Amino acid sequence: MAKTMKGLVTYAPYDYRYEDVPIPEIGDGEILIKVKGCGICAGDVKSYHGGIRIWGTSEENRYIEAPCVGGHEFYGQIVAMGEGVTGFEIGDDITTEQIVPCNECKFCKEGKYWMCTRSAVFGFKQYAQGGFAEYVKLDKNCINHKIPKEFTPEQAVLIEPIACGMHAIEKANIQHSDVVVIAGLGAIGLSMVNMAKLNLPKMIIGLDVKPKRLAMGKDFGADVVLNPMECDVVEEIMKLTDGLGCDVYVEASGSPKSVKQGLDSLRNLGRYVQMGVFADEVTVDWNIIGDGKELNIIGSHLSALTFPSVISGIQSGAIKTDGLISHTYPLKDWKEAFEATEENPEAIKIMLIP
């Protein structure tokens, strides 16, 4: 095997370089995979633009350890395994959960590894180099899953983002009588519409500013779709709910305006779930939560034990995937792919192939 590979390395905001990097060396308990596809997450794009969530305001509060290879929505084929690896074979296609847990902190020991205090998400740490490269090393603590042989590349890449959406839907605790709003109909938002529909709520309302995504929202199970650029969303939700407001608002757009919109749209005692990631800090009137409506504000972080269920759901057909990967690009054309993610009105999820 060659000693170097091509990878997309993050050095600083707007300074990403497609260059030769060493192929990772593996040790005991570790796995080397040849990457077969990696999705572009909204967080990857916000990182490129210097989002405060990733770059912080100083070296002291910076999350990313640049330079490092980005990308966490990847899958690949096992090409090498260290001593002690069990349950997998050379040639297996696998995916891994997006965080490398420490297995030592309070949360890992309680089984809540997705809240690991080390918070080592692939693509942002030098010891967790990501999938925008030809090969990825999976640490001995990684939580890996076999991909069914019948899965398409698109389905395999979608496991990770859909798993994040499933966790948010679980946190929403959707009841049959609920009116549920999903704000942001990207690949994750559309999947959340799909999964929310499986709970048989009273109504699902999808929100987005792109016509293509609104149309897909109906295909994935939304009863109503609204474009915030064309109507007063809060007013429309009130009309649909006899003036009470929605029961659940899941924020998956990462737009600061969506936060106020959600708080205003919710009924008294409603549930707000924050799943989207913001590039900058958000300011709202916090009084509406307590002194106003007594809302339940719920956070949703990563995928939390959902990978097996997502794989099973895709395999059975209960979880839809058709059309969620709208475009594919070779890794070398990463800049065009990033631009399309932001600017192409037909883009849903874009996959890079090394």
CATH 3.90.180.10 boundaries in the chain = 4-152+321-353
Phi and psi for 79 in degrees, rounded to 5? -115, -15
CATH for the 162-299 domain, from 3.40.50.2300, 3.40.228.10, 3.40.50.720, 3.10.20.30? 3.40.50.720
Please choose, from the candidates 10, 52, 13, the residue with its C-alpha nearest in 3D space to the C-alpha of residue 254: 52
> In the prediction, which pLDDT does 176 show?
98
> In the prediction, which pLDDT does 131 show?
98
Q: pLDDT tens, 121-149?
A: 999 999 999 999 999 999 999 999 999 99
Mean pLDDT by 10 residues, the chain (354 residues): 93 97 97 98 93 89 95 98 97 97 97 95 95 98 97 98 98 98 98 98 98 98 98 98 98 96 98 93 93 96 97 98 98 98 96 98
Q: pLDDT tens, 222-278?
A: 999 999 999 999 999 999 999 999 999 999 999 999 999 999 999 999 999 999 998
SS3 176: coil
CATH 3.40.50.720 boundaries in the chain = 162-299
> In the prediction, which pLDDT does 298 show?
98
* pTM (predicted TM-score): 0.96
One DSSP character per residue, 57-124 reads SSSTT----SSEE---EEEEEEEEE-TT--S--TT-EEEE-SB---S-SHHHHTT-GGG-TT--BTTS
One DSSP character per residue, 211-242 reads HHHHHHHHHTT-SEEE-TTTS-HHHHHHHHTT
> In the prediction, which pLDDT does 269 show?
98
**In DSSP terms, which residues pair with 274 in a beta bridge?**
251, 299
d(CA 170, CA 301): 12
Count of CB atoms situated within 10 Å of the CB of 6: 17
> In the prediction, which pLDDT does 320 show?
98
> In the prediction, which pLDDT does 245 show?
98
| CATH C-level class of 4-152+321-353 | alpha beta
d(CA 249, CA 288): 15
